[in-house]
Structure 1
Amino acid sequence: MREMERDMNPCCEDNRASDLVLNILGVLDDGVHVLTAMAATPDGPQITQAVVEYRPGYSGIDFEGIAEIVRVLAMTAGEGTGGLIVRSGKGMIGRRVFGWHIGDLVAEPIGSSELFSAYCSDPSTGEPTPPPPYTEYAKAPTLR
């Protein structure tokens, strides 16, 4: 039935993408977070970013940026693929990086070793490079 609903309701992808983004925002701790979303399309990759800051008594959300993330992730509905990476401030100088592969608006956590390989390799040679100081590559939490 849900498959049939998706086919009949073109805004369903936007609703599912909104739910996905809300789930992602719900797992973020206090700190400054840069979210980068990407969807592979026939016209090339679509990429966008948004910044979110949580601290006690304050939430700063780039609503326009989050709306763009929803738009880009909605492109992964059906056979589409993409991903979302979060770079979180950790204390004064540390960073934590985690993310998800996105396919048909389902998020699968990316493992820490896969993230490390992707971000700590020379793009032209594939050779390993040292990670930036104080950066932790972590497996993303499983989303509901």
Structure 2
Amino acid sequence: MTSAFRTTRRTKELLRREIPGTAGVLADPHDFAAMRRYRTFPFQDHTRYLRHLEDHLRTRTAQGMRTSLALFDPAAYAEYCAELGIDPDSIDSRARYTGELAATGATLPYAGEPLPQLLPLLVEETGRQAVWDTAATRLAEAGTCQECGADLSHTAFALATQALKELLDGLGDGTHHLVCSIPAGPPPLLAALRVTSEEGRHSLAESPSLTFCTVLAAGIAHRTPGGIVSRSTRPEPRPEATTPHDTVRGWTLRDGWPEPLTAAQVFTAYCTDAETGDPIPPEPHVDHTEGFPLTRPPETHHC
């Protein structure tokens, strides 16, 4: 039996113990390096670890076994073990933590895709889940209206849903990328949403739209400042244009409702470095246009 064969077989055995049904993936080399301090963590090289992991996942898939992927965070894992009083230098502890991720964290199903293709999506989904968790907590803290007793979180979410619908209806046909930003401590809450609209029908994913509305609702409920930026690509370029033009619009949260920015305000916001305040050259083929008014429901004046 060759040394390479023994190494491969042992790696597969270790991976079977590490992956009870959900694989906690160390997507980042720094996270991988942090796990190497544990004696029971058997892997030495991040690239080889990902290659062996992908081989093992494909084998499970070929055998009809379902596997989901979750992002493994060494710092959160250490805190988890400290809270429960369990040994972090243990395969069983890692499997237990991964099981918690499967129940409460962001996961993606694995269906044979190359890991380099899937990992960016997993990182994005994990970030989206974290934003939703924070926004949902912030929204729940809104409580009830002292004047009418209404549940402010419920009211604010309904208003956010209505605002999003009006935005999409007003933007019309095309591909739209919307970003909602609400200050909630460093860093601010950011939710991005990609929508394709055609003849009044809007195609959008459920999870990103839920996160977008939750972040917007948190800003509405607490009357915080914030804003929405949309970037739209027309389905066809203008006749005189050789390339499609993008249109950027903006709104600011004022008294719990998105109010349109002027074209000059949109240009300034979009062409200014958020960290340094320095101007950024405008992109070619991008029109900076004023936002359009959204119908303010009567509830925003009372609650």
- TM normalised by structure 1 equals 0.84
CA distance in 2, matches of 1:53, 1:134: 20
CA contact (8 A) 2:249 2:291 kept: yes
Question: 1:33-67: per-residue Cα shift (whole Å, max 9, x none)?
Answer: 00101111146410011111112486321222111
Cα distance 1:39–1:113, how it changes in 2: closer, same or farther (>3 A)?
A: same
Equivalent of 1:40 in 157, 163, 183: 183
Larger radius of gyration: 2
Equivalent of 1:81 in 192, 210, 225: 225
More relative contact order, 1 or 2 (CA 8 Å, 6+ apart):
1
Q: What's 2:286 paired with? A: 135
CA distance in 1, matches of 2:222, 2:276: 34
Cα distance 1:120–1:44, how it changes in 2: closer, same or farther (>3 A)?
A: closer
- 1:96: Cα distance to partner? 0.2
Cα distance 1:3–1:73, how it changes in 2: closer, same or farther (>3 A)?
A: farther
Which sits farther off after the overlay, 19-28 or 131-140? 19-28
Greater helix content? 2
RMSD between aligned residues = 2.3
What is the one-letter code of the residue matched to 1:62? A
CA distance in 2, matches of 1:124, 1:39: 16
1:24 partnered with 2:167 = yes
SS at match of 2:193: strand
What is the one-letter code of the residue matched to 1:100? W
Greater strand content? 1
* Count of aligned positions: 142
CA contact (8 A) 2:172 2:200 kept: no
CA contact (8 A) 2:164 2:213 kept: yes
CA distance in 1, matches of 2:174, 2:276: 34
Equivalent of 1:4 in 147, 151, 162: 147
Cα distance 1:3–1:97, how it changes in 2: closer, same or farther (>3 A)?
A: farther
- 1:135: Cα distance to partner? 0.1
SS at match of 2:226: strand
Identity %: 25
CA contact (8 A) 1:16 1:105 kept: no
CA distance in 1, matches of 2:249, 2:161: 20
Which sits farther off after the overlay, 75-84 or 63-72? 75-84
Which sits farther off after the overlay, 12-21 or 115-124? 115-124
Which sits farther off after the overlay, 98-107 or 32-41? 98-107
- 1:122: Cα distance to partner? 4.6
Q: What's 1:55 paired with? A: 198
Gaps of at least 5 residues in structure 2 are: 1-144, 238-243, 296-303
Q: What's 2:249 paired with? A: 98
Q: What's 1:70 paired with? A: 213
What is the one-letter code of the residue matched to 1:107? P
